[in-house]
Every structure is written in C-alpha cells, then in structure tokens.
Amino acid sequence: MDNNLVDGGHLKAFIERIEKLEEEKRAIADDIKDVYGEAKGTGFDPKIIRKIVSLRRQDKSKREEEEEILGLYLAALGME
Amino acid sequence: MDNNLVDGGHLKAFIERIEKLEEEKRAIADDIKDVYGEAKGTGFDPKIIRKIVSLRRQDKSKREEEEEILGLYLAALGME
Amino acid sequence: MDNNLVDGGHLKAFIERIEKLEEEKRAIADDIKDVYGEAKGTGFDPKIIRKIVSLRRQDKSKREEEEEILGLYLAALGME
Amino acid sequence: MDNNLVDGGHLKAFIERIEKLEEEKRAIADDIKDVYGEAKGTGFDPKIIRKIVSLRRQDKSKREEEEEILGLYLAALGME
C-alpha cells in the first residue's frame, strides 16, 4: 500500500521526458561547438562568426540606431 | 571581381548551419519549459523536479560523500 | 563649439564612476576566491562551504519545506 | 567532548568572512545599478554605456583588429 501522496510513476515520466530533452539539447550544443571548430579549421574567426550570428538575430533598424548612438557617445568622449 | 579574401558563400554556409542548430536548441529549451509547466499544472513542484534532474546527473557515490561532508560541517557549526 | 548633443563630460563622469565600482567589485570577487583558497589550504572542502553559504542565505522554514518535498519525491521514485 | 573532526570555529570564521565579502559585493553591484539608473534618468542610454564600459576594457589594437575582420565578413556576406 502506498502511504505516499506522490504519484511516483507520473513524476518519473516527467523526469524522464526532461532528461531526454536535456540530452538532446546537450547534443545540439555539441554540434554547434563542432561547427565553430570546423569554421576555425577552415580559417574563419569563430569569435567574429559568433558576433555576426548575434547581429543577425537583432532587429536591423534597432541595431543601426544603437550603432548611431554608440558613435555619438564615442565622439563625445573623444574615443574615436 | 572580388577584392575581398573572405569566401562569403563558405562563411554564409557556416552561419546558416549554426543558426539552424541554435533554432533547434531554442525549440528544445522551450519544450523543456513546457514539460516543467505541465508538471506544475499536475501539482508537482518544478523547483524540486529540477533538483532531482540535477541529482540524477551526479555520480551517486560522489553525491553521498558530499552529503556526508555537508552533514559534518553543519553539525560542527551547530546548524542542524 | 560642440555640435554634438551628447554632453561628453557628463557621460565620462558616469562611465568613470561605473569603472571604479566594477574595479572594486572585481577586487572583492578576488578576495572571495582567496578566502576559499585559504579554507581549502586548511583542509576544508570549498564546494561544501559554498553550499553552506548558499543554505544560510535561504529562509530556514522554506529550506526545510523544500527538503521535505524532495524527500517525498525521492521516496516515490525509489531513489532513496 | 567533540567527536567531530571538523573545527567548527575555524569553519565558521571562513564562512563569516565570505558572507561579509559577498555582502559587500552585492552592495557594490547595487551601486552600479544605481549609477546606470541615474545615467538613464539624465537621458543617457544605459545599454550603450554598458557597451562603452566593455569596449574600454578591451585592448584597443585588438578591438580595432576585430572590427576590421567583422567588416570584411559582413562585406563578404553582403550584409553592409
């Protein structure tokens, strides 16, 4: 007789679904690392590729606006 | 004529592979959030499930050893 | 004459205040690492100390409640 | 009589030193947030200030080199 109010089978099912997904996520993260490694092996700079991937996710007009403000600030600071 | 030494097509292929993988990774991360949400909706505590998922990834004997040291330290501090 | 709407002196003052504070924060972070290193040198386990520092920041009754739920879940899973 | 091999007093001293430093670190982190808030209240864009603080920590020649490679890559991709 179960004197525990927790449904172990149900809980285990949730945990195993999460573990399977976490496993898949780690595999994809490894794949991403591999592509960067491959790009590096071909002579590309992984850091710059990472920057471009990030830039491409940003809204273009928003990015341009930020670049413009950055330019104004750097000029005001005499940093350019 | 291309006066740039960078092979744009090759670079673009790397970037698109990375973007596709990043997209998949985000989709899986969303799925994981959904499972936690579903578990919560069934009455389970997501925070505790997260803890169990983490515990299950640790080596059992290592985890037990750490629990034992923690117990000794807490006792020495009078925290138990 | 300044044809830039950005007040460079004012901006620079903010940046320098932030940089000074960031510097102080890094120095303290280094000090913390040093104390952990010192504790390790005396034979203590830094990972367990970190765990205790974290436990002490949590509300005691909340922590006990979480431990209890964790125990119930682990029992339901046959993990204990 | 102490049948625990752990020196509680010594351990407690380490923990309290860490807690004091952690407290100071949090206070400084709050101060930093306040300066950003103040800058924002004066009309500056906190996100751009953060970017400049980060740029100033980088080595200038290294930063310029990276900007140049980024420019070449964006041109090769037709992104400029």
Q: What is the pLDDT of residue D80?
A: 74
Which CA distances in Å does D68 have to A45, A74, B4, D72? Answer: 12, 18, 12, 6
Rounded to the nearest angstrom, the minimum Cα separation between C1 and chain D is 21
CA of C69: how far to CAs of A4, A6, A59, A68, B53, in Å? Answer: 11, 9, 44, 53, 14
Residues D37 and D68 placed together within one structural domain of the fold: no
Q: What range does the domain containing B2 cover?
A: 1-44
Predicted confidence band at D1 (pLDDT cuts at 50, 70, 90)? Answer: very low
Token pair for residue B25? 């990774």
Could you tell me if B34 and B70 lie in one domain?
no
D2 & D37 share domain = yes
D22 and D49, same domain (yes or no): no
Mean local confidence (pLDDT), B40-59 = 96
**Per-residue pLDDT at C2:** 47
Report pLDDT for D5: 83
Predicted confidence (pLDDT) at residue C13 exceeds the cutoff of 70: yes
Q: D11 vs B75: CB contact, 8 Å cut-off?
A: no
What is the number of alpha carbons within 13 Å of residue B8 lying toward its C-beta?
A: 12
Residues D1 and D39 in one domain: yes
Res. C12 pLDDT band, cuts 50 70 90:
very high
**Mean pLDDT for chain B overall:** 93
- Tens digits of residue pLDDT in C22-35: 999 999 999 999 99
Characterize A33-64 residue by residue with b for buried, 16 or more Cβ atoms within 10 angstroms of its Cβ, and e for exposed.
eebbeebeeeebbbebbebbbeeeeeeeeeee
On whether both A39 and A1 belong to a single domain, the answer is yes
pLDDT of residue B1: 37
Q: What is the pTM of this model?
A: 0.85
Mean pLDDT over the full length of chain C: 93
Give, as one character, the DSSP assignment of residue C78. Answer: T
Copy the structure tokens of residue B12.
Answer: 């673009």
More confident residue, D2 or C64: C64
Q: Say which amino acid occupies C21.
A: L
D51, D33: one domain: no
Is residue B73 pLDDT above 70, yes or no? yes
List the 9-38 stretch of C: residues with Cβ below 8 A of A. Answer: 11-12, 15
What pLDDT does residue B79 have? 85
Q: What is the pLDDT of residue A8?
A: 95
Q: pLDDT per residue over A13-64, tens digit each?
A: 999 999 999 999 999 999 999 999 999 999 999 999 999 999 999 998 999 9
pLDDT at position D75 is 95
CA B42 centroid distance within chain: 23
A 10 A CB-CB count for C18 gives 21
Provide, as residue numbers in chain B, all residues whose Cβ is less than 8 Å from the Cβ of D15. Answer: 77
Give the number of domains in chain A: 2
3-class SS at C2?
A: coil
Regarding whether C37 and C3 lie in a shared domain, the answer is yes
Residues A40 and A51 in one domain: no
Q: Does one domain contain both B51 and B40?
A: no
Q: What are D28-63's pLDDT values in tens digits? A: 999 999 999 999 999 999 999 999 999 999 998 999
Give chain C positions within 8 Å (CB) of D52: 15
Residues A39 and A49 in one domain: no
My answer on whether D78 and D60 are in the same domain is yes
ipTM reported for the complex, 2 dp:
0.83
> How close does chain C come to D2, measured CA to CA in Å?
18
- Chain D contacts of C53, Cβ < 8 Å? 15, 18-19, 22
Cβ-based contacts of B70 with chain D (< 8 Å) = none
pLDDT at C79: 85
3-state helix, strand and coil shares in percent for chain A, rounded to the nearest 5? 80, 0, 20
- Judge whether residue C80 has pLDDT over 90: no
Half-sphere exposure of B62 (CA within 13 A, CB side): 6
Any CB–CB contact under 8 A between C76 and chain B? no
